[in-house]
């Protein structure tokens, strides 16, 4: 491993800058305190020992997704189809494909033509809300893993790439936009402790949950675009913008809901101007 590789959790993760804005109902001190809290929470997660990750809540599906040594393409495939359906459904797709095909060996997957992928994704029930589209995504992904990565998806990240390189590699897969590419890199670093040379180009994944929480916390104006969210996170912690991703996504899904947010149950309630008029 190159000696330049920063250890996950080192101070490279907490070199935050000044607050993004001070005109959204929070004082600069509030911004600093909230930013520092979120950075410290993210750094603490990165310091935890590697443990079994619950992606779907179904044991067999999660065992496959955690098998980065034997079946790293399961993780890749799940990332690529994680859109327009609940996350648990998307991340169950690799196990569904394995069960229907009777194999999840890369040699067997790459041997399938696109029509056979469509059958796998459609029958006996749709494996995804967009089975034909995702069949094409997975067909092309299997082909690329073989042609570009010697049949081993782990080669996407196994050479200790820079953060820009790993995000670019995910982006090169058909159907992967910035949100998917940065999500994949973030999960590899956060949950599996995959070493990279740096973390500065792993952005926050600005989905609806993160957009809502960033707006309510006052880091951006409510309703801001994904691009604004991404650059706000870069300002907040330029050495690792995506360090906020998991905490904000969890908050948006469990507590900071679109309607009837559970403000009094939120650990950030004392920092949140929105919460003052929205107590449950």
What pLDDT score does 10 carry? Answer: 53
* Structural domains for the chain: 11-49+200-277 (1.10.1670.10), 59-156 (1.10.340.30)
Q: What percent of the chain has pLDDT over 70?
A: 88
pLDDT in tens, 81-109: 999 999 999 999 999 999 999 999 999 99
Q: Does residue 56 or residue 26 have the better pLDDT?
A: 56
> 25: Cβ–Cβ under 8 A, 6 or more apart, which residues?
218, 273, 274
- Lowest average pLDDT, out of 103-117, 134-148, 181-195, 237-251, goes to 237-251
Beta strands in 60-145 (DSSP E): none
> 225: Cβ–Cβ under 8 A, 6 or more apart, which residues?
none
Distance CA 246, CA 250 (A): 6
Q: What's the pTM?
A: 0.83
pLDDT in tens, 191-219: 999 999 999 999 998 888 999 999 999 89
Residue 261 pLDDT > 50, yes or no?
A: yes
């Amino acid at each position: 491993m190159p000696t330049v590789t920063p250890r996950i959790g080192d101070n490279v993760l907490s070199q935050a800058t000044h607050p993004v804005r001070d005109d959204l109902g929070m004082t600069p001190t509030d911004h600093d305190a909230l930013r520092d809290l979120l950075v410290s929470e993210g750094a603490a997660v990165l310091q935890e020992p590697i443990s079994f990750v619950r992606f779907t809540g179904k044991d067999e599906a999660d065992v496959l997704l955690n098998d980065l040594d034997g079946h790293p393409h399961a993780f890749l495939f799940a990332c690529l189809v994680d859109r327009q359906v609940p996350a648990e459904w998307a991340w169950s797709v690799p196990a569904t494909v394995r069960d229907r095909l009777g194999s999840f060996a890369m040699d067997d997957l790459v041997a399938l033509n696109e029509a056979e992928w469509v059958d796998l994704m459609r029958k006996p029930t749709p494996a995804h809300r967009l089975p034909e589209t995702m069949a094409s995504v997975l067909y092309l992904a299997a082909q690329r893993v073989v042609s570009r990565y010697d049949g081993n998806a782990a080669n996407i990240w196994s050479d200790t790439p820079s953060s820009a390189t790993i995000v670019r590699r995910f982006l090169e897969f058909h159907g992967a936009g910035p949100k998917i590419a940065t999500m994949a890199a973030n999960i590899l670093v956060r949950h599996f402790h995959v070493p990279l040379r740096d973390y500065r180009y792993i952005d926050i994944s600005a989905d609806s949950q993160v957009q809502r929480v960033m707006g309510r916390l006052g880091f951006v104006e409510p309703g801001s675009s994904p691009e604004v969210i991404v650059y706000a996170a870069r300002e907040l912690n330029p050495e690792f913008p995506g360090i906020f991703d998991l905490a904000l996504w969890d908050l948006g899904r469990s507590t900071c809901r679109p309607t009837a947010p559970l403000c009094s149950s939120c650990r950030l309630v004392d920092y949140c101007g929105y919460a003052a008029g929205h107590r449950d």
